[in-house]
């Protein structure tokens, strides 16, 4: 039997766990694109890198701006403009129509009394990691699926007839220890357990005993893994419920591997196990901003993002061989490029390559609104094999990057900048 544990309104619940005055009132946690990394002044940015399964993407955090006005409000031409989106809303706020990914300015129109809190990623990281460890102390097989979700396999550990009571006790123990509510779904099939969590919310436990009857009238959009593209594909066949999918095995199997997997997950026929977190396959960051016409400013921002990518890459001992740059322009226009660079990684190499790609794909007559850079296709390196007497340019630059990395570990990512960032 599988359990799926979903932390209710995690970010909001995390704040309430350390501030009881937030309980029972409408609150939301908001975030905005971290453009502080482009500031010329020091901002003491730190990276949450010891993710322990909590974050699948790197999180840069700055605690300097922690109140609503300094974090969410910009003064533009003398006018006050609220920036950012809702990442999590409490159930009290949701009752007023506030939703995830809604602009904070719009959310406040729906619920003027709502308190909006800046994101506190170190807090979420700490609690997620502690809750993972606690659940793992109660159940041998635990998979952290996301920062606020865990899959657990209790087969052979808890008798099937006792799983519901076990889940109820676990739910209460998490509240007692962390003051954070969770909902738990139970099923003999892994992904049906995740679906059952939606039936358990808020703060409930729901066990699916008969998968066929449970999914019969369930809308296809409810199932994890059925996005808009698959919804349209099924809609073209007038399939609206999971029960109808169950009767279309031949159709789903005609889609190949994706269809076979989806059908098996929906019907519970696919036997899946708890999976440990795999190695990261790529490292990337992106930033969205107001339109920028200046090519020099775009280049400067690419160099700053490359510094951040360098820091993450060196901290993982990975040596990327694919470098990727993507630029989004106004009106949906895009430019992107990938280069294979089979050399020893360094900050200089990354920045030189990014500058080369920018020169090739830049559209100087258009306004850029988003930058994305990433590295991928890793092979790992052993620093012990780099002899002190090695003097090739790549090794010298790599060793210099390592020395700079140590300073950034101690003093922040922006303690040392290159001239091309200023």
400: CATH: 3.30.1490.100
pLDDT along the chain (422 residues), means of 10: 97 96 96 74 57 48 68 84 92 96 95 94 88 95 92 94 98 97 97 97 96 96 92 94 96 95 95 76 87 94 93 84 96 94 92 96 94 89 51 82 86 81 79
CATH number at residue 73: 3.40.1170.60
The answer to whether 375 and 284 are in contact (CB under 8 A) is: yes
294 and 262: one domain? no
In a domain, 196, yes or no: no
Domain CATH number, residue 274: 1.10.150.20
Closest CA to 71 of 56, 57, 61, 58: 61
In terms of domains, do 226 and 356 share one?
Answer: no
Q: What is the pLDDT of residue 406?
A: 87
Residue in the structure block whose two tokens are 């766990």? 17
Domain that residue 83 falls in = 10-119
Taking the C-alpha atoms of residue 184 and residue 198, their distance in angstroms, rounded to an integer, is 9
Contact 145/152 with Cβ under 8 angstroms? Answer: no
| Closest of 297, 286, 270 to residue 371, by C-alpha | 286
Instruction: Report pLDDT for 409.
Output: 81
Q: Which of 255, 278, 301 is the last residue of a domain?
A: 278
Q: Are residues 230 and 308 in the same domain?
A: no
Helix ranges (H only) for 22-157 are 68-72, 91-94, 104-110, 121-138
**Structure-block tokens of residue 180:** 């954070």
Answer yes or no: is 306 within a domain: yes
Residue-wise over 213-239: b if at least 16 C-beta within 10 A, else e?
ebbeebebeebeebeeebbeebeeeeb
CA distances from 202 to 13, 46, 181, 225, 234 (A): 12, 34, 8, 22, 30
How far, in Å, are 217, 228, 294, 308 from residue 336 at the CA level?
Answer: 43, 25, 18, 20
In 3-state terms, what secondary structure has residue 410? Answer: helix
Closest by CA position to 144, among listed 272, 5, 261, 47: 5
267, 288: one domain:
no
Q: What is the pLDDT of residue 277?
A: 66
Q: How far from 212 is each of 26, 223, 227, 268, 295, CA to CA, in Å?
A: 38, 14, 22, 9, 58
| CA-based nearest residue to 200, from 4, 416, 422, 406 | 4
pLDDT at 120: 87
233 domain-assigned = yes
Q: Is residue 387 part of a domain?
A: yes
Token couple for 234: 């099924």
| Whether 227 and 107 share a structural domain | no
What is the number of structural domains in the chain? 3
Question: Does residue 318 sit within a domain?
Answer: yes
Beta 205-207 vs 182-187: how paired, if at all? parallel
pLDDT value, residue 56: 45
């Amino acid at each position: 039997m599988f359990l799926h544990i979903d932390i209710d309104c995690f970010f909001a619940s995390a704040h309430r766990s350390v501030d009881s005055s937030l309980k029972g009132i409408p609150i939301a946690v908001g975030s905005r694109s971290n453009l502080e990394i482009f500031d010329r002044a020091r901002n003491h940015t730190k990276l949450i890198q010891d993710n322990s399964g909590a974050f699948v993407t790197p999180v840069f955090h700055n605690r300097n701006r922690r109140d609503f006005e300094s974090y969410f409000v910009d003064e533009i031409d003398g006018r006050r403009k609220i920036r950012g989106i809702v990442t999590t809303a409490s159930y009290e706020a949701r009752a007023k129509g506030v939703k995830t990914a809604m602009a904070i300015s719009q959310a406040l129109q729906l619920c003027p009394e709502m308190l909006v809190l800046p994101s506190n990623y170190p807090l979420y990281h700490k609690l997620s990691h502690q809750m993972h460890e606690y659940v793992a102390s109660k159940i041998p097989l635990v998979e952290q699926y996301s920062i606020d979700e865990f899959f657990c396999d209790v087969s052979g550990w808890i008798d099937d007839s006792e799983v519901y009571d076990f889940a109820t006790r676990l739910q209460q123990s998490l509240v007692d220890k962390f003051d954070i509510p969770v909902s738990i779904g139970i099923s003999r099939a892994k992904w049906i357990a995740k679906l059952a969590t939606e039936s358990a919310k808020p703060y409930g436990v729901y066990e699916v005993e008969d998968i066929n009857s449970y999914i019969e009238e369930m809308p296809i959009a409810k199932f994890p893994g059925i996005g808009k593209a698959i919804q349209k594909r099924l809609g073209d066949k007038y399939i609206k419920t999971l029960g109808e999918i169950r009767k279309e095995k031949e159709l789903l199997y005609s889609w190949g591997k994706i269809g076979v997997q989806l059908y098996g997950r929906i019907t519970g026929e696919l036997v899946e196990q708890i999976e440990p977190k795999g190695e990261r396959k790529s490292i990337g960051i992106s930033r969205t901003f107001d339109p920028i016409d200046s090519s020099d400013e775009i280049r400067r921002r690419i160099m700053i993002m490359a510094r951040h990518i360098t820091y993450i890459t060196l901290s993982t001992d990975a040596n990327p061989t694919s470098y990727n740059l993507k630029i989004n322009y106004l009106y949906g226009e895009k430019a992107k490029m990938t280069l294979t660079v089979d050399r020893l990684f360094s900050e200089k190499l990354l920045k030189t390559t990014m500058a080369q790609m920018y020169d090739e794909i830049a559209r100087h007559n258009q306004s850029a609104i988003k930058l994305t850079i990433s590295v991928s296709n890793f092979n790992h390196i052993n620093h012990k094999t780099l002899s002190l007497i090695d003097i090739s340019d790549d090794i010298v630059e790599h060793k210099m990057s390592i020395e700079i990395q140590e300073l950034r570990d101690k003093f922040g990512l922006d303690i040392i900048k290159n001239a091309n960032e200023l």
